C-alpha cells in the first residue's frame, strides 16, 4: 500500500545526500508531510453531472487559498 510513498522518500533522501542546500532539505521534508499517496485502486471517481458549477469551485479555491499548482488538474476535469 505504501510502495509509492516509500519510493518517493528513498528518492528524496538520495537528493538530499547529493546536494548541500537547506532550502531543498526543507522543501523535501515538508513534502513528506503534505503528500498524499493513494493507490490507483483507491481513487474516487465522480460523474461529471455531479460536479459543482465552475464559479462555485473557483470561489472555494480562492477562499481556501488552494495552491495554484492544483488549479490546472481541477480545470482539466471540467474539459
When pLDDT is averaged across residues 44-55 and rounded to a whole number, the result is: 77
Three-class SS of 8-76:
HHHHHHHHHHHCCCHHHHHHHHHHHHHCCCCCHHHCCCCCHHHCCCHHHHHHHHHHCCCCHHHHHHHHH
Amino acid 60: pLDDT:
85
- How many structural domains comprise the chain? 2
Share of the chain above pLDDT 90, in %: 0
- Reference 28, options 40, 18, 42, 38; nearest CA is 18
Q: In terms of domains, do 1 and 33 share one?
A: yes
Q: In terms of domains, do 13 and 28 share one?
A: yes
Q: In terms of domains, do 27 and 50 share one?
A: no
Task: Write out the residue range of the structural domain in which residue 73 sits.
Answer: 45-79
Q: Using one digit for the tens of pLDDT, what is the confidence trace for 7-40?
A: 777 877 787 777 777 777 777 777 666 556 555 5
- Reference 61, options 48, 71, 50, 52; nearest CA is 71
Amino acid at each position: 500500500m505504501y510502495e509509492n510513498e516509500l519510493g518517493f522518500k528513498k528518492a528524496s533522501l538520495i537528493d538530499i545526500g547529493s546536494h548541500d542546500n537547506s532550502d531543498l532539505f526543507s522543501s523535501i521534508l515538508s513534502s513528506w508531510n503534505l503528500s498524499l499517496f493513494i493507490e490507483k485502486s483507491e481513487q474516487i471517481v465522480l460523474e461529471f453531472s455531479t460536479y459543482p458549477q465552475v464559479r462555485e469551485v473557483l470561489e472555494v479555491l480562492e477562499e481556501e487559498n488552494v495552491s495554484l499548482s492544483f488549479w490546472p488538474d481541477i480545470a482539466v476535469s471540467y474539459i
